[in-house]
Structure 1
Amino acid sequence: MDKSSNSLNWFEIPTTDISRATDFYQTIFDITLEENNMEDAKMAFFPSEMGSGKATGSLVQSPNHTPSMEGSIVYLNANPSMDKILNKVEAAGGKIVVPKTSIGEHGYIAFMKDTEGNKVGIHSMN
């Protein structure tokens, strides 16, 4: 890894109920996740353009994935503004842990607890 490459190339958000988690993320982001099984893992992939060089990831339900409020935090892209997304979180079964907070010239962040018990960050410029 060097400064000319992405430091993140893939992320996985653990789930205990892939269907519930998929519904939650599809609802709050107004997207469609593509579901697939890989060996002992059930996965739901976030939208991506293969070969674009942009990082992406999936929801994963497997014996090796345990939801947590601790550890690494993934920040999902909420551009152009996170307000619409945050307004859907609680109705979709999640909880706002840290409300929209300015980080100066770098935009805004918020933390939510998803339906699986993960702390997930959200970032937008507005």
Structure 2
Amino acid sequence: MSNALNPVGWFKIAVSDMDRAIRFYSAVFGYSMERHKMDVIDMVWFPMHPESPGAMG
């Protein structure tokens, strides 16, 4: 069995209104989201906390 703290490497949640989604997920989880543009793709990443279990995406 692996002792990996961040077992999930990537996931996607499709949204039609990125600003609204950022406000929603920031409020629900209490995180500051990181927005990134990759060519025509607009993405927001959940923060990664290396010292605790979870995933970024």
- Fold match by TM threshold 0.5: yes
Q: Deviations over 1:95-123 (max 9, x none)?
A: xxxxxxxxxxxxxxxxxxxxxxxxxxxxx
For structure 2, the 5+ residue unaligned runs are: none
**Cα distance in 1 for residues equivalent to 2:41 and 2:47:** 19
What residue is the counterpart of 1:29 in the other structure? 29
Question: Segments of 4+ in structure 1 off by > 6 A?
Answer: none
Percent pairwise identity: 33
What residue is the counterpart of 2:44 in the other structure? 44
Q: Over alpha carbons, which structure has the higher Rg?
A: 1
TM norm structure 2 = 0.71
For structure 1, the 5+ residue unaligned runs are: 58-126
TM norm structure 1 = 0.36
Q: Number of aligned pairs? A: 51
Structure with greater proportional strand content: 1
Change (3 A) 1:24 1:41: same
Aligned ranges 1:1-126 → 2 under 5 Å: 3-4=1-2, 6=7, 8-49=8-49, 52=50, 54-57=54-57
* Greater RCO, CA 8 A, separation 6+: 2
Aligned-pair RMSD on alpha carbons? 1.8
